[in-house]
Amino acid sequence: MAVKSGAGAETAPAAITEMSFEAALRELESIVSRLEQGEVDLEDSIVLYERGTALKAHCEQKLKGAEARLEKIVLGPDGQPKGTETVEL
């Protein structure tokens, strides 16, 4: 479903699954701002809320994926790095 932006122009929303974390977060922040202003009609508010919910879930998934890949440096007895191990969160 297309989302209205600006002066009534409609733009096709980007596929959320293809968005980077940063792009999804920027769009989510924009949606929150528009909804907080209260100048969006009811139907558009519902569409925006649904997309915002999907963006939030996508951001959470991206964060969990990043956390799973984090590594910490394991220091040996001589203080030198001896390898890496996955961080348990």
Q: What are phi and psi of 20, to 5 degrees?
A: -75, 165
Residue 12 is given by DSSP the state P
How far, CA to CA in Å, does 27 sit from each of 20, 40, 67? 11, 16, 22
Taking alpha carbons only, the member of 70, 11, 9 closest to residue 1 is: 11
Mean pLDDT check: name the lowest of 7-16, 21-30, 44-53: 7-16
**Taking a C-beta distance cutoff of 8 angstroms, is the pair 44, 52 a contact?**
no
Mean pLDDT, rounded, for 31-52: 95
**Residue that the structure tokens 């984090």 belong to:** 70
Residue 73: predicted pLDDT: 52
Residue 6: predicted pLDDT: 43
Residue 61: predicted pLDDT: 95
pTM recorded for the entire structure: 0.66
Residue 7: predicted pLDDT: 40
